[in-house]
A = this chain, B = another copy of it.
Amino acid sequence: MTQYSVGVDLGGTNITIALVDAKGNIKNKVKISTQIDKDAGFVIKTIIENIKLIIKDVSVKKLMGIGIGAAGQIDHENGVIQFSPNLHWRNVHIVKEIRSKFKLPVAIDNDANVACYGEFMFGAGQGANNVICVTLGTGVGGGIIIDRKIYRGVNGSAGEIGHITVESNGRRCNCGNRGCMEAYVGAPHIKERAIEKIKSGRHSIIVKLVNGSLNKITPKRLEEAALYRDKLALEIWQETGFYLGTGLASLINILNPEKIIIGGGVANAGKLIFDPLLKTIKERALPVSWQDTKIVRAKLGEDAGVIGAAMLVKYS
């Protein structure tokens, strides 16, 4: 008998809900907007209605449970969203509420952990025991799998890989600290670094690509500029790969991981970021620490979240 579970990816912009089979295949999926102007009760009601829709053709016997990945600080054990800046929620007992409607096992973890678990189970991490995921986007997120289980740390906040220091007195990060990897590699910081160089008088084709509106610079535009062999854009990618590589070299020296899986929008820059990244890791990490570590691209894209969430109930 094919069995299914439901994965919910609850973000500040969208909620994705999917019916997933035990092999990680998505059988059915809906994506709705998160109405963050409404209260938590309303949003949870919407989630419940959409879960009902997505499981309506599946017999209860075949359903193993519901797993949720949510942005923010999660109390995994008690099923509580303690604080989510994206959702503006505090202490929301979401697991209890959803469980009461379905009489099924319900589990929750943070979005970075479940996405990593998805990649580990059915994506780029298959077959490995110890995996670290790095998601390059607005922030630099992370997830850690040790001994085939999500590693959460003492209070569930492990995996803040973006906040590895690379320069003790470096650029200011959103977290308040200086010199975090994210302060160089996060998309808004890549943009900032490009704007600073242009404002310092450097010539670049990127100015033409954004019609003079520097505020429209994005990693995507910097990729395009690099295609024209634009010196400034190439330099930005070089530096981005260097800082990412510096942070990951620290991580490799600490954890000697089997695989590092790199995903997120900024990773689409491909060789532009991966070449200097790999060069930096080889220069900086101890040879014995990195020689058996594979650095790979994420495979599941946006679906990693719902697939990993669905697997929470089965294996956690």
Contacts and interface: CB of A to CB of B under 8 A. Distances in A.
Interface of A: 73, 130, 142, 144, 146-147, 151-161, 163-168, 175, 177-178, 242-243, 246-247, 249-251, 253-258, 283-286, 288-289, 291-293
A286 to B, nearest CB: 6
Given A165-B246, A168-B243, A293-B154, A286 B160 contact: yes
Nearest to A146: B146
A256 B153 contact: yes
B254 A159 contact: yes
Given A165-B249, A253-B163, A256-B152, A157 B284 contact: no
Nearest to A149: B147
A158 B256 contact: yes
Number of copies: 2
Contacts of A161: 253-254
A253 B179 CA distance: 14
A130 B153 contact: yes
A135 to B, nearest CB: 15
A7 B242 CA distance: 44
Given A168-B167, A250-B165, A154 B257 contact: yes
Contact of A157 (B167, B250, B289): B289
B154 A246 contact: no
Contacts of A249: 165, 177
Contact of A254 (B160, B166, B242): B160
